[in-house]
Structure 1
Amino acid sequence: MIHPTALIDPAARLADDVEVGPFAVIGADVEIGAGSRIGPHVVIKGPTVLGARTRIFQFASVGEDCQDKKYAGEPTRLVVGDDNVIREGVTLHRGTVQDRGETVIGSRNLFMAYVHVGHDCVIGNDGIFANQVTLAGHVKLGDFVILGGLSAVHQFCHFGDHAMAGGGSIITKDTPAYVMINGNPAQVHGLNLVGLRRRGFSKEAIRGLSEAYKLVYRQGLTTEQALEQIRASFALPETEAFVASIEASTRGIVR
């Protein structure tokens, strides 16, 4: 189950059934959950916690020191949930003491080849990150997000639940939940209707979100005016989440 050429620090903690491929390097203070498979030439540095059934492909670098010039060797962490797939050449960096001190990734995410996750990012569950997506430091992503290949997200940006970015998007502002964006700089192009229908959102929820979207993006209202009208007109969990994602913005929303 562990290839004889793999280098595993005695202080690493691996579940009994973890598989480790040729020439992988696993450092001290690394914890890997049950059912995980670590491919050849993977490097994992601690402090890092990987959940159950993690699948890491060749040449990925997981838990490395961040690229922030302020970083001075502090023992920051990377914490990853269960059932994540981390493809070839992916880089996942630990946090910094200037922020939360850890990079946090949820469960059931797919990181395609050469994705980069910078320091102190917080990523939800069930996301899809296509080839060469780049997340700068301090980015926060919700659940069920999709980022198309070669997309880049500026530091401190928020990206809401069920939102989607087309390939090559340059994202420098916050993206509300449920919307679809694309371009350089990214602009909003409607709701992520295909994604919402695939995930079983009700017709009532989609209708409410469509009307809420129009108030924010199509009626010429200020953001504050639009949010007031949404609150007065709808009492749906989905529209409340849409409003909350806009209110949480610190960089202004994609228009």
Structure 2
Amino acid sequence: MPAFIHPSAHVAAGAEIGAGCRIGPGCVVSAEAVLEPGVELMAHVVLDGRVRLGAGAKIFPFATIGLAPQDLKYKGEPTGVSIGARTQVREHATIHRGSTGGDGMTRIGADGLVMCVAHVGHDCQIGDGVILVNNVMLAGHVTIGDFAVVQGGAAIQQFVRIGRMAMIAGMSGVERNVLPYGRVKGFRAKHAGLNTIAMRRRLGLSKDQVVTVAHAVHDLYRGGRPDEVAGTLAASYPDNPIVAEILAFARNRGRHGLVPFGRAGEEEEGGEAA
């Protein structure tokens, strides 16, 4: 199936356009762009520099992908952006290319959704099935695991790591790492429980299994510094891969350590998306 390119679109010589792609009016596609089969650029989309879009990705009007990072150290090095298959990028979202401070690539996995006016900073590494709701702001070098959800208006500090299936509440300010399956909220985000709905729906865990994981997280926080406690806590939860994943994440303190534990009364069950 041949590609369709609107007469008003500007596709630079050298761009690789796969079968069945649709490039709508007013789009600008760089010479280094690669569009795998079935990609759709609806209208007025800008792809700048080394951008690769996976098969079936759909980019909505006025989104910009691959523009230079907002990093004063960047001097025009040949860095880029990679977006996985079937991911949707909605109106006015901005996704910046990587920098030499990382490995040169900003990555978003397959089957994700970047909603309107969200910003993905340079060198972010985002897994499969991640949802970034309207107006989310990711600083540079943020890492987000598979199927995590960042709700509207949340801001994530640079170099923060968010574990898979974590839930970030809307308008939260996340300055430290978030455990896999964790749920955080607040202007200065704190751990507020587990994303239990995702754990039950995606992993098929029973209520008792979820409670066991919750006890392990409580023990992790209440035993001292989580990165130090994690090494000794594993023996208390043998043959539990979910707890093992959480403890392995906690052992890697990175630049920021974990978000603090929330106050009593902040641990209600929740997590609307799974």
Task: Tell me the TM-score normalised to structure 2 length.
Answer: 0.89
CA contact 1:92–1:117 (8 Å) conserved in 2:
yes
In structure 2, the CA distance between the partners of 1:226 and 1:65, relative to structure 1 (3 Å rule), is closer
Q: Give the residue type in structure 2 aligned to 1:126.
A: G
Q: Which is worse superposed, 127-136 or 204-213?
A: 204-213
Conserved 8 A contact 2:112-2:130: yes
* Corresponding residue number in structure 2 for 1:60: 63
Q: What percentage of aligned pairs have identical amino acids?
A: 35
Deviation per CA, 1:91-143: give whole Å up to 9, x if none. Answer: 11111112211111111110000110101110101111100101000111111
Quick check: 1:211 aligned with 2:241? no
Deviation at 1:246, TM superposition (A): 0.9
| Equivalent position of 2:268 in the other structure | none
Q: Is 1:200 aligned with 2:206?
A: no
Amino acid at match of 2:115: M
Matched, 1:252 2:268: no
Alignment of 1:45 onto 2:48:
yes
- Give the whole-Å Cα distance in 1 for the aligned partners of 2:225 and 2:94: 40
Give the Cα–Cα distance (whole angstroms) in 2 for the partners of residues 248 and 86 of structure 1: 31
Give ranges in structure 2 of 5+ residues lacking alignment.
Answer: 261-274
Letter in 1 for 2:155: A
Query: Is the contact between residue 208 and residue 236 of structure 1 (CA under 8 Å) also seen in structure 2?
Result: no
For 1:246 and 1:234, the matched residues in 2 are separated by 17
Cα distance in 2 for residues equivalent to 1:154 and 1:216: 23
- For the 8 Å contact 1:215–1:226, the answer to whether it is kept is no
Provide the residue aligned with 1:235 in structure 2.
239
Q: Are 1:76 and 1:95, in contact at CA under 8 Å, matched by a contact in 2?
A: yes
Residues 1:107 and 2:122 are matched in the alignment: no
Q: Which moved more, 1:166-175 or 1:93-102?
A: 93-102
Aligned residue identity for 1:89: H
User: Deviation at 1:78?
Assistant: 0.8
Q: Is the 8 A contact 1:182 1:189 kept in 2?
A: yes
Alignment of 1:66-81 (within 5 A): 66-81=69-84
Structure 1 position 222, deviation (Å): 3.7
Q: Quick one: which amino acid aligns to residue 243 of structure 1?
A: L
Counterpart mapping for 1:127-138 below 5 A:
127-138=130-141
Query: What do residues 54-89 of structure 1 show as CA deviations (whole Å, max 9, x unaligned)?
Result: 000000001111110111011101111111000000
The match for 1:160 among 156, 159, 163 is 163
Aligned to 2:93: 90
1:83 and 1:65 mapped to 2: Cα distance? 24
Aligned-pair CA distance for 1:220: 4.8
Q: Could you state the TM-score of these two structures normalised by the residue count of structure 1?
A: 0.96
**Shift in alpha-carbon separation, 1:18–1:246, aligned structure 2, 3 A:** same
Distance 2:204 2:69 in 1: 38
Distance in 2 (alpha carbons) for counterparts of 1:48 and 1:249: 32
SS in structure 2 of the partner of residue 180 of structure 1: strand
Contact 2:230 / 2:247 at 8 angstroms: preserved in 1?
no
What displacement does 1:237 show?
1.1
| 2:36 is aligned with 1:33 | yes
2:173 maps to: 170
